[in-house]
Amino acid sequence: MAASTNSNNADINLLNVEWRFHEWIMGVGGLNPDNVLDYFAQSPFWDPECNNAVLRMQTQFNNLGEMKQRLSEMTGVEFALVLERYPTLFVIQKQRRRSPHEVKPIAIYYVLQGSIYQCPDLQTLLSNRIVSFDPILYFISFFFFFFFFFLFASNVMPDFKYFLSLFFFFFFFFFFFFEF
C-alpha cells in the first residue's frame, strides 16, 4: 500500500486494511519503541488532528519523555504505545484523554512485524461469529424437528423406526460433510 496519509479516514472501513511501508522501516534501521509511533503516523490509521500531531508540529526536536509528559496534560484524541514485544509486536491505542488520569479507549491497532492492522471491536467480532453460526443453527433446528418426529413415529408406527434411523444417519452424513 502507498505510504501516504489519508486525512479523511471516516469514510473508509479500516478493519480490512493491512498497511506496510517497507522503505521507511529499512531507512530507520527497523522498528523500536522509540520510532513506532512515527511509523504509525505514516499510515491511514493516523488522525492528523490528534494531540500527537499537534505536539510534533510545535516541538519537533524535543525528546520522547517530554512529549509523553506534555501529552498527559492535554485533552482530546491521542495515540499511545500500550504494549511492546520488541522487535515483532507493538500495540497502539487510540484514546480520548479527559484529564491527566482519565482516558477512554477508542480503537486498538497493532504493528506485527512491520504491518499495521486495526483490531475489530466487539460488535464486529460478535456479528461475524453469529453469521458463521447460521448453518449450524439450521442443522440443529432440522435435527430436533426430526428427532421429535422420530419419537412420535416410533410410538405410532414401530416398523417405521428402522427407516427413520437410516434417514437420520444419511442426512447427518451428507449435511455435515458436504455443507460445511
Q: In this predicted model, what pLDDT tens digit does every residue of 41-73 receive, in sequence order?
A: 999 999 999 999 999 888 765 666 788 888 989
**Per the domain annotation, does 106 fall within a domain?**
yes
Does a structural domain hold residue 2?
no
Burial of 54 per CB tally in 10 Å (0-12, 13-18, 19+): middle
Predicted local confidence at residue 4, as pLDDT: 45
Range of 77's domain?
Answer: 9-119
Q: How far are the Cα atoms of 61, 88, 125, 171 from residue 134, in angstroms, in the given order?
A: 55, 36, 15, 18
pLDDT at site 57: 86
- 173 to 112, 136, 177: CA distances (angstroms): 41, 14, 6
Beta carbons within 8 Å of 112's beta carbon, 6+ residues apart: 88, 89
Do residues 92 and 153 both lie within one domain?
no
**pLDDT given at position 13:** 82
Do residues 148 and 111 both lie within one domain? no
The rounded average pLDDT for each run of 10 residues, N- to C-terminus, in the chain (180 residues) is: 48 86 96 95 96 85 75 94 94 95 95 95 78 66 64 60 64 59
**Is residue 85 located within the same domain as residue 137?**
no
Q: How many domains does the chain have?
A: 2
Cell of 99: 484529564
27 located within any domain:
yes
